Amino acid sequence: MPKILNPEELKKEIDKLKKEGKKIVFTNGCFDIIHVGHISYLKEAKKLGDILIVAINSDISVKKIKPLRPINPEHERAEVLSALEVVNFVTFFDEETPYNLIKYLQPDVIVKGGDWKVNEIVGADLVKEVYSLPYMDGISTTEIINRIIKKYTKSNTSFIHQSSASLIEKAKKIKFLILDVDGVLTSGDIILDDEENELKIFNVKDGHGLVMLHKIGINIAVITGRQSKALQRRMKELGITEVHQGIREKLRVFNGIVEKYNLKKDEIAAMGDDIIDLSILSRVGLSFAPADAHEEVKKRVDYITENKAGQGAVREICDIILKAKELWYKFIDEYTNF
């Protein structure tokens, strides 16, 4: 009998086991990076009955509550859990909470970690027994991620300088996004034709990300040291009016934008790729750099994208902001029903 089952398959097994007099224990969570705290918790949960069911948040569910997660996809998380002797079955749920799944499966016992009060545990009204088990202090997936980040920050393997929670909190506050152009919206390559025109290649996904931000009321500005008709045309297509070209003193324009829109530091995000951008990056609430930015810039920003400039780096930060503001699925629903 396989351990990983969909809810319908699992329901049939539970009904059989109940007829045999087995006591069914249910717990749930993301279980993104399995650690010793999880193992200890699951061992204690199993002691409360005969059969232990672990319902994991699907990738869709995790992204609703933790926009930068999961680290590991649902099928990998399920495989790891199913390999544990104390776990009898693993299943998935797409909602933010497993309430409907609990109602459907009808376990005898629900168990959650010690940060949950018994009367607040989802599904407590549906079962006879509810327990809140203590966690092991200082051990969590977030702590493991932070230890990895701290250890490898000085190498190119590190993308995030802030913890996921810190980054999300900063992204929630953003009202204005400021972007460099060459090396951010484009790869940084400069194409000149024989008629002294400067040509640029823009990424369509970056553009759509900016359109979505604009739709939710986030203003966008681009500030660049170069001049290009191609940039003016692209920004017009995207509905971006704050287009500042030929700017050598970017800080002067930045200060003008702050005053014009009455912005606070933590309401501004910015992305740059070279040291000329540091005057702005050091004065905003949330700073970004593309994966191929100058090393000096990458040392000083909150987040380094996995994507390179002109290849989805801007879209990556747009998605982060949308998810942090819990508006990502607004667009998913909109386009699904378009």
Instruction: Render pLDDT for 292-305 as a digit per residue (tens, 0 to 9).
Output: 999 999 999 999 99
Residues of the chain with CATH 3.40.50.620: 7-141
The 10s digit of each residue's pLDDT in 191-218 is 888 777 888 999 999 999 999 999 999 9
Mean pLDDT of 278-298: 95
pLDDT band at 158 (very low <50, low <70, confident <90, very high): very low
CA distance 218 to 292: 26
Mean pLDDT of 211-229: 95
Enclosing H/E stretch for 28:
strand 24-29
pLDDT band at 160 (very low <50, low <70, confident <90, very high): very low
Per the DSSP assignment, residues forming a β-bridge with 182 are 186
Mean pLDDT of 39-65: 93
The 10s digit of each residue's pLDDT in 71-86 is 899 999 999 999 999 9
What local confidence, expressed as pLDDT, does residue 152 receive?
66
Q: What average pLDDT does the structure give for the chain? A: 91
What local confidence, expressed as pLDDT, does residue 44 receive?
96
Share of the chain above pLDDT 90, in %: 73
Q: In the predicted model, is pLDDT for residue 8 greater than 80?
A: yes
Q: How many CA atoms lie within 13 A of 19 on its CB side?
A: 6
Specify the CATH number for 7-141; select among 3.40.50.300, 3.40.50.620, 3.40.50.970, 1.10.3720.10.
3.40.50.620
Q: In the predicted model, is pLDDT for residue 336 greater than 60?
A: yes
Least confidently predicted of 45-54, 73-82, 90-99, 186-195: 186-195
For the chain, the farthest-separated pair of C-alpha atoms sits apart, in whole angstroms, at: 85
Residue 289: how many other CB atoms lie within 10 Å = 32
Mean pLDDT of 122-140: 88
What local confidence, expressed as pLDDT, does residue 161 receive?
43
* Residue with the larger pLDDT of the pair 98 and 332: 98
Closest residue by Cα to residue 318 from 171, 163, 159, 170: 171
What CATH class does 149-336 carry? alpha beta
Structure-derived torsion over alpha carbons of residues 327, 117, 145, 71, reported in degrees to the nearest 10: -50
Predicted TM-score (pTM) of this structure: 0.57
Closest residue by Cα to residue 160 from 142, 175, 140, 178: 142
Residues of the chain with CATH 3.40.50.1000: 149-336
Enclosing H/E stretch for 18:
helix 7-19
